[in-house]
């Protein structure tokens, strides 16, 4: 099977490329390299033994996309490409709608023109908004109480995919709602290496440990959680990558939606403690006020993916911390 990964040089796409290549899938990658580096392709080759064919194309470049699809002969697309900086999306909403929603429409048009009916889409737990409960299941109503344009783009794209599936009986779309991806490949060769200032917890912890950021600001310790700090479901990126393989092996006509998470919540201070234990270093932090739009506690109910995709997570927070520290060592040596 020939699979196109949009955004495939990015954090989650590159790990997924490796899992697919290991199983003998033919993989091609397109990316505009806005938030990733071309050298990732060499790292993928080092790990998986194959260097995927690469197109430096922007989702918004209709001509470039058409040319790629004309050459491609793809059976399936995994659509990772998108902008994901929540804070920036609040400041530049049009950029986010244009890139994420407009880009997806261009992609779907190309798929239709070239007879590609199968797509797996990178969605996010953010589409659930505030449900008033911590454990989230796929049948909950989405799209209410989303607090930023980034999250809205994920919701809108989900709705577009549902409409296309309604209109075209042969269309197969699997929406994967990721919880909080963390960790790196155990080889230490690839991981999360954002080009700009991160706003998610794990990349900030990484930058505090390297001294690029002075200390971690913990956003609130007065939530109704185990220690007052926010609780999330952190999933190792290799488990997440394997979730994509499981999903493409079970594609069926219409829309399928799965949470990809561990089912277990971890607090910010538990993450700090896990990083300190794995690294043997103190991680400087201070408690500050709550971040606007944050929820106290959310985690996945991953039961549907386990039942229907025969997939569940195998790696732990400790594995994620060890792999992140190993990756940081490789980054320093480069
Ligand atoms: P990433 O930034 O590492 O990867 C995304 C890739 O898409 C980047 O390489 C970027 O250069 C590329 N890209 C962006 N806009 C493009 C465009 N117009 N044309 C071509 N390429 C473009 O991010 P990631 O963490 O690997 O996330 C992958 C997907 O998963 C994204 O859609 C993201 O929104 C979603 N997601 C991520 C998280 C997370 O915490 N990492 C959580 C939930 C959902
Ligand atoms: C955030 C986004 C969400 C997006 C997700 C993945 C917000 C409000 N939500 O979710 O839309 O889908 O990232 O990209 O931005 N924390 C700190 N200090 C920090 C950073 C984070 O204490 O410097 C805490 C947060 O308060 C939270 C936890 O760490 O409790 C995880 O934060 P983060 O990594 O940003 O993920 P989410 O809040 O789940």
The per-residue pLDDT for 228 is: 98
The per-residue pLDDT for 197 is: 73
The per-residue pLDDT for 193 is: 80
Distance 214 CA to ligand 2 centre (A): 19
Judge whether 51 and 74 are in contact, CB under 8 Å: no
Lowest-pLDDT range of 189-198, 241-250, 270-279: 189-198
- Alpha carbon distances (Å) from 295 to 48, 97, 129, 291: 38, 24, 9, 9
pLDDT average, residue stretch 207-235: 97
pLDDT average, residue stretch 21-50: 97
* Residue in 18, 39, 44, 81 to alter for ligand 1 test, most ligand atoms within 8 A of Cβ: 81
Residue nearest ligand 1's atom 41 by CA:
181
The ligand 1 site (C-beta within 6 Å) comprises 7, 9-13, 31-36, 58-60, 80-84, 99, 103, 122, 124, 178, 180-181, 200
Name the band, by pLDDT with cuts 50, 70 and 90, for residue 198. confident
The ligand 2 site (C-beta within 6 Å) comprises 84, 86, 124, 126, 147-148, 150-151, 180, 199-201, 204, 216-219, 230, 232, 268, 291, 293-294
Name the band, by pLDDT with cuts 50, 70 and 90, for residue 248. very high
pLDDT at 194 over 70: no
Distance 249 CA to ligand 1 centre (A): 22
What's the pLDDT tens digit per position in 137-186?
Answer: 999 999 999 989 999 999 999 999 999 999 999 999 999 999 999 999 99
Report which ligand 2 atom has the smallest distance to the Cα of 125.
12
pLDDT average, residue stretch 81-101: 96
pLDDT average, residue stretch 303-332: 96
The per-residue pLDDT for 195 is: 61
What's the pLDDT tens digit per position in 130-141?
Answer: 999 999 999 999
The per-residue pLDDT for 138 is: 98
Provide the CB-side half-sphere exposure for 99 (13 A, CA).
22
Distance 268 CA to ligand 2 centre (A): 10
Backbone angles phi, psi at 135, to 5 degrees: -90, 125
Which active-site residues does the annotation give?
150
Ligand minimally distant from the alpha carbon of residue 11? 1
Report which ligand 1 atom has the smallest distance to the Cα of 103.
18
The per-residue pLDDT for 199 is: 85
Dihedral-angle region of residue 33 (phi above 0 means left; psi in -120 to 50 means alpha; beta otherwise): left
Name the band, by pLDDT with cuts 50, 70 and 90, for residue 112. very high
pLDDT average, residue stretch 227-254: 98
Average pLDDT value over all residues in the chain: 96
pLDDT average, residue stretch 56-84: 98
The per-residue pLDDT for 52 is: 98
d(CA 31, CA 8): 6
pLDDT at 331 over 90: no
Question: Rg of the chain's alpha carbons, rounded to an integer?
Answer: 19
Helices (H), the chain: 11-22, 40-48, 62-72, 86-91, 93-96, 103-113, 149-167, 201-209, 237-249, 268-279, 303-309, 317-333
pLDDT at 332 over 90: no
Of residues 151 and 331, the one with the higher pLDDT is 151
pLDDT average, residue stretch 257-281: 98
Helices (H), 250-288: 268-279
């Amino acid at each position: 099977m020939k699979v196109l990964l949009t955004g495939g040089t990015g954090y989650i796409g590159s790990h997924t490329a490796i899992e697919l290549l290991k199983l003998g899938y033919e993989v091609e990658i397109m990316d505009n390299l806005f938030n990733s580096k071309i050298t990732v392709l060499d790292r993928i080759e080092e790990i998986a033994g194959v260097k995927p064919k690469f197109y430096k194309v922007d989702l918004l470049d209709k001509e470039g996309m058409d040319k790629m699809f004309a050459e491609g002969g793809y059976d399936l697309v995994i659509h990772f490409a998108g902008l994901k900086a929540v804070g920036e999306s609040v400041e530049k909403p049009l950029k986010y709608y244009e890139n994420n929603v407009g880009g997806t429409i261009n992609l779907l048009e190309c798929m239709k023109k070239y007879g590609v009916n199968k797509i797996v889409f990178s969605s996010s737990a953010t589409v659930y908004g505030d449900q008033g409960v911590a454990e989230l299941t796929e049948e909950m109503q989405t799209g209410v109480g989303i607090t930023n344009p980034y999250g809205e783009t994920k919701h809108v794209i989900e709705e577009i995919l549902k409409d296309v599936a309604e209109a075209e009986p042969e269309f197969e779309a699997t929406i994967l709602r990721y919880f909080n991806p963390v960790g790196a490949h155990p080889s230490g060769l690839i991981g999360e290496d954002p080009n700009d200032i991160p706003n998610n917890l794990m990349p900030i912890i990484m930058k505090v440990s390297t001294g690029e950021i002075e200390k971690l600001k913990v956003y609130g310790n007065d939530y109704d959680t185990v220690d007052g700090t926010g609780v999330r479901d952190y999933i190792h990126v290799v488990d997440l990558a394997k979730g994509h393989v499981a999903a493409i092996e079970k594609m069926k006509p219409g829309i399928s939606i799965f949470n990809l998470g561990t089912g277990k919540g971890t607090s910010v201070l538990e993450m700090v403690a896990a990083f300190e234990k794995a690294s043997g270093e103190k991680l400087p932090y201070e408690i500050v006020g709550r971040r606007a739009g944050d929820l106290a506690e959310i985690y996945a109910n991953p039961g549907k993916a386990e039942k229907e995709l025969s997939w569940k997570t195998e790696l732990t927070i400790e594995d994620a911390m060890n792999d992140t520290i190993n990756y940081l060592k490789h980054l320093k040596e480069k």
